[in-house]
Each structure stands twice: as C-alpha cells, then as structure tokens.
Amino acid sequence: MPERLTPLAVCALALLAERPMHPYEIAQLLRARGQDQDVKLRIPSLYHAIERLERDGLIEVSGVDREGNRPERTTYRLLKAGRDAMERQVIVWLQAPRAEFPVLPVAVGEAHFLTRAEVERVLAERRDAVARERAAVRVFQEAALDKGVPRRMLLGKEFTLHRLDAEPRVGRLSPVRSRERGP
C-alpha cells in the first residue's frame, strides 16, 4: 500500500475507474480534458506511476494488444484497492488547507530584493499571463459543457477559475512600511 499517491497517479486511477486503458490513452485523455494543466504530465513519469500502481497492487494488467506495426500496448484495470487508495488520497487533499507548497508566497516574500520597477513589470506580466490562462480555462470549460460533460466533472476547472480570480490582487501588492524599533 503506497504512503501517498502523486497527483498524476490519482488522475490515472480516476481514468481507470472509467474503464481499462493503456498509459498512452491515459495521457491522451488527460490532455483532452485539460488535466495536463493541473498535473505535471510527462510520459516517462506516467509510465513510472503506472508501474508503481501495479507493483502496489492498485491496478493490474487486463490485456496486451497490438495494432499493425505499432508496439504492444498493455492495458490496465483498476482494482478495489486502487479505488480505495485514490479516494483516501482525495480526502486527505480536500481536508488539508494547504496540501502543497506553492512558490508564489515565497516569491512575493522575497521580492524586496528586486527594484520596485522590476517587481511592477514582472507582476504586470503575471497579470497578463493569468488573464490569458483564465480565458483559456473558460473556453475549455464552455466547450466541455457544450459537449455534455457533467459540471461535476469540471469542478477542478471551476476551482482553477476561482484561484485565477484571486491572482490580480497579487499585482496590487503595496510595499509594507517598516516600523522603526526603539532602543
């Protein structure tokens, strides 16, 4: 039993809960659903995660097939232990007020090493990037809803939009006035 599942492993288990599939298909679906924006998706990392899930008894091989000259594809299916582990990990993440260590608070906290002009320029670029990302997420979300994807399947995107809505405030940070300390 794994101590902790990675976000990529949880996404893979969630897709295998839909049906058995091979890792390449998992990667394609993660990209098609925009989840590659939420997890670090690298093919070698995905294959490593699949190997670990199999080793830990969370998934198993359900078949091996070959189409034409293509290489063999191993298809995996989710086991009950895998579904249970995925659900436990999701609960842990949902309960934690801060499951990971985002870098933005550190960057903002140490921005005093830069000139004010540099900070303002970089934060303006960040605001523009956030606006572009927000627009792209909104387009993806609307397209998915138009295709009949249930809203509950898009809650991660909804969360991303809320997070992005909070981002412009970062650009309006004002320098904290230092307090003189008395003797």
The answer, yes or no, to whether residue 107 has pLDDT greater than 80, is no
Position 23 pLDDT exceeds 80: yes
State whether 85 and 153 are in the same domain: no
Asked whether residue 44 is assigned to any structural domain, the reply reads: yes
Are 144 and 154 a contacting pair, CB within 8 Å? Answer: yes
pLDDT at 143 over 80: yes
Q: Over range 25-54, report the average pLDDT.
A: 92
User: How confident is the model over 107-132, as a mean pLDDT?
Assistant: 83
Assess if residue 69 is contained within a domain: yes
Tell me, yes or no, whether 124 and 82 share the same domain.
Answer: no
Going by C-alpha positions, the residue among 155, 152, 174 that lies closest to residue 163 is 155
Domain hosting residue 46, numbered range: 7-95
Which of 95, 127, 146 is at the close of a domain?
95
* 84 lies in the same domain as 109: no
Beta bridge partners of 74: 64
Asked whether residue 2 is assigned to any structural domain, the reply reads no
> Given 95, 114, 145, which residue is the final one in a domain?
95
Q: 73-77 — which CB contacts under 8 Å span 24+ positions? A: 73/22, 73/24, 74/22, 74/23, 75/20, 75/21, 75/22, 76/16, 76/20, 76/21, 76/22, 76/23, 76/50, 77/16, 77/20
Q: What is the count of structural domains for the chain?
A: 2
CATH of the domain at 32: 1.10.10.10
- Quick check: is 179 in a domain? no
Domain end (from 47, 66, 95): 95
The CA distance from 104 to 87, in Å, is 29
Task: Tell me: do 150 and 132 sit in the same domain.
Answer: yes
Top pLDDT among 79 and 150 is at 79
